[in-house]
Chain A
Amino acid sequence: MIQVEHLTKRYAGHTALNDLSFSVEKGRIAGFLGPNGAGKSTTMRILSTFMPATSGRVVMAGYDILRKPLEVRRRIGYMPENNPLHLDMRVAEYLRFRGGLRGMSGEALQKRTEEVLEQCDLKEVSKKIIGQMSKGYRQRVGVADAILHRPEVIMLDEPTIGLDPHQVRLFRHMIASLAQNHTVLLSTHILSEVEILCDHILILQGGRLLANDTREEIQKRVGSLTQCLAEIQAPWEPLSEALRSMDSVADFDIQDLGEGFLRCKMHSKDGNDLRPMLFEMIKQKGWSLRELTQDQPSLEDLFVQLTHVGRVTREEPS
């Protein structure tokens, strides 16, 4: 549904996007994750045909964005960053105006407006002036506008920014329900949002794509960061030997705590829990154990690791 090949965007003296390539399949919710200034909004703007790229090719819903921008626009629903709306208009009036811009008219537009108002829980405020509504309602109007013409792709740039936790929860529920009929591309710098909502995760840093995987693959990568910690009363060399012989241990680090106790930090090769195997090994050796824990890494850990590596890699040439 979305195909991006070698997308690059350069401004004078600054590269905003550097050779971005990814694709998103139909019916997926893809999440752009990255810190502020990573290039998320620039990518969204290019994909929505608002801004031309310096080089690269983008195909949205089967149409090249450069060659057939109007065809692409007919098939996308885009909510830009900060959700700009005509604040002087009433909700239903605004949606009818936006429908008119997409070639909808008459009864079909009226009917679809009613449906969308219902779907986005805006029926009660349909006659209210947008400028007098709360942020949460305005965001819903933005989404209602994006789905009004039944687009194949919905693009939401930072959709939950500025919402209170209750509104964020409601909003996530709304976005999740959209995936039944649409392909959704959303950008955010909130990790939990991506973790909960998206089944395709793209991590962006400094205009480069650091990760481009399905949620399952990302979860595996997160799992590989699982760290097991044990404090064992054992001699250094035999313990080191024993850990080396365990197939599931990717790497380990031993630190002397005194009083005969050693602290071992281990990473699993495949994200499996090392604790049962470790406990079995210590029992066989007849050593003493006073602590055995395993931390639960999150997407945040992977994000920090990737973005840190990205930063180091980029700084190397200079």
Chain B
Amino acid sequence: MNSLFMQEVPLSWYLLLSAALFCLGVVGFLIKRNLITVFMSIELMLNAVNLSFVTFAHEWHQVRGQIFVFFVMMVAAAEAAVGLAIIIAVFRARATLAVDRIDLMKL
């Protein structure tokens, strides 16, 4: 029983988890209508990628992957700040957060 917990979790499990999280993020991004949920899906995708970074870094005993994760987290934090600001601005302007109704990018 003890040995069961002491055993290393195989690499593939981490990667499968990462892939599953990423796919959840993609699907959430595509099907959710609320802008904040969409935004959260992006965060989910970023963290899924972070997980695979850390996994590989650990596997190959290299520190680069860890450093990348810090970068991604930092950028994600900045993005969260800017993104939320945009969301608030959009809500103030259009009184809605439904993605389908925010289609100003059309020519």
Whether both chains belong to one complex is answered with no
Binding site for A on B (CB under 8 A): none
